[in-house]
Amino acid sequence: MKVSRGLDRIREMSRLGLPGETFVLAALRETDALVARGAAAFFWLDAAGRVVNCCAERLPAGNGREASSSWADDSSFTRSVLEANGARDVVTRDIGPRGRPRARLCAYRGEAGIPFGARDVAAIDEAVRYLAHGLEHEAGPDEASRCAPLVVASEELLVCDGEGRVLHATEGSRTLLLLASGIPLSPSGLARAEAASAALLAAFCARPRRRDGASPSMRSTPWGAFSFRLHPLPNPGAAGADLSAVQVRRHEPAQLRMLDALGATALSARQREVALLISLGRSNAQIGQALCVSENTVSYHVKSLFARFDVHNRAGLTSRLVTAGAGAD
């Protein structure tokens, strides 16, 4: 049941036309439903198969070095990412048209996990199909704005001194800061992303200090929108030394959270897909084409959705769905 639900969610996400990085981050959250006690890392590749970006729960340290001295080749970089996440048993799948990879999914389990079985591999292969669809129809920069409003997807907390040096941090804070830099996380880009995220944090902590933690600083990257909120801390042990708690949040389109709201209803998988496509402004004809069903079938589902949510038109339904998604924080 969990596997089926995870595949349903990834399929539904793939139809939203999200920016590629935003889509992949959301889809990777569903891998635990596909491979119990497992997770996944994702790599974007160029035409020559070189890694140009990646995402994973943990990333190896760039240590200020470029690719020539950090990693011998892209395969060693991939291994470093998997090792940083404690991966032992790994299933790798390339994603791209007609055998030409543009991305790579590495699903893995740690040392304590049992090896992948045939059913696990079949679920991963099915997920790869939806990942390919979502990347093929990802939104460009001009389209991303239609994904608003935003909701909080992840949050980390750091304690910094007045110059932005990190003194204490939650486990996922480094990865979140790297994503906030907006620099592709490639073998040659990881060190630059580390430097940029450190500079970003230093610049934020150097701003005039406020006691209420209000007016968070916002920035947008392909991974989503990031907010930084600073809370000055008392530091009786070091006179004159400034300490601050920095709350870092990543925000994603409410349409992703909408899936949670829809999943809590008694709607069928088909009705959820129709509802999501309506929220994207698709006509009945476009929905029928996307789902390979007739317009009459779509019309039936639309009327059922109007009745289910007690609305009378598509605008009313979309408003209800977006509100439900935004309210799921």
pLDDT, tens digit, for every residue of 242-291?
A: 888 999 999 988 878 778 777 777 788 888 889 888 877 889 999 998 88
Residue with the bigger pLDDT between 149 and 271: it is 271
143 pLDDT higher than 60: no
Q: Would you give the end-to-end CA distance of the chain in angstroms?
A: 25
Query: Is 265-326 the same fold as 2-144?
Result: no
Q: Within 13 Å, how many C-alpha atoms sit on residue 214's CB side?
A: 2
Arch. (CATH architecture) of 2-144: 2-Layer Sandwich (3.30)
The total number of residues shown for the chain amounts to: 329
Arch. (CATH architecture) of 265-326: Orthogonal Bundle (1.10)
Indicate the domain borders of the chain.
2-144, 147-252, 265-326
What does the DSSP assignment read for 43-102? EEE-TTS-EEEEE-SS----TT--HHHH-SSHHHHHHHHHHHTT--EEEEEEESGGG--S
Q: Is the pTM of this model over 0.85?
A: no
What average pLDDT does the segment 153-182 reach?
Answer: 92
What does the DSSP assignment read for 182-246? ----STTTHHHHHHHHHHHHHHHHTSPP-SS--S-EEEEETTEEEEEEEEEE--TTSTT--EEEE
Cα 174 to chain center, whole Å?
Answer: 15
Output the CATH code of domain 147-252: 3.30.450
212 pLDDT higher than 80: no
Q: What angle do CA 107, 111, 116 make, to 5 degrees?
A: 45
